[in-house]
Amino acid sequence: MTASTASIELAQLAAEAADSKQAENLVALDVSGPLPLADVFLLASGRNERNVVAIAEEIQDRLGASGSKVLRREGMAEGRWILLDFGDLVVHVFHEEDRMYYSLERLWKDCPVVPLAVTAPEA
């Protein structure tokens, strides 16, 4: 099974939102095979707690403006690992230290990577 086109488009929109707040190391994984509850995990890192919260808020705002409502949100108060559940898309915004520690890419290494197109910042 592969992720739906709608889920991939939602992940792309979320990645663009994250990128606009200087998120680093954006990776989207197609988890539709082993995980029946979601199609795509989007992973992003922030440099500090404030940046992590700003990234998560921007993703929630942009996806909300496009008609997607967050079903569940966890971790906003701490700003270390924020989970945003949009149904078919689950976004994980990590503090860079926590991302290295939990290493979700390693945990889901058998899942295909979904290509993302984010614009590089202009110099």
**What's the pLDDT tens digit per position in 48-93?**
999 999 999 999 999 999 999 999 999 999 999 999 999 999 999 9
Hey, what are 108's tokens?
A: 């889901």
CB hemisphere CA count around 14 (13 angstroms)? 34
Nearest to 12 by CA among 34, 27, 32: 27
**Residue 116 pLDDT more than 60?**
yes
Domains of the chain, each with CATH number or no CATH: 5-114 (3.30.460.10)
Hey, what are 120's tokens?
A: 């590089």
Give CA–CA dist 71/49, Å, rounded: 22
- Average pLDDT, stretch 35-58? 96
Share of the chain above pLDDT 90, in %: 89
Record the pTM. 0.92
The larger pLDDT score, comparing residue 39 to residue 120, is at: 39
pLDDT at res. 36: 87
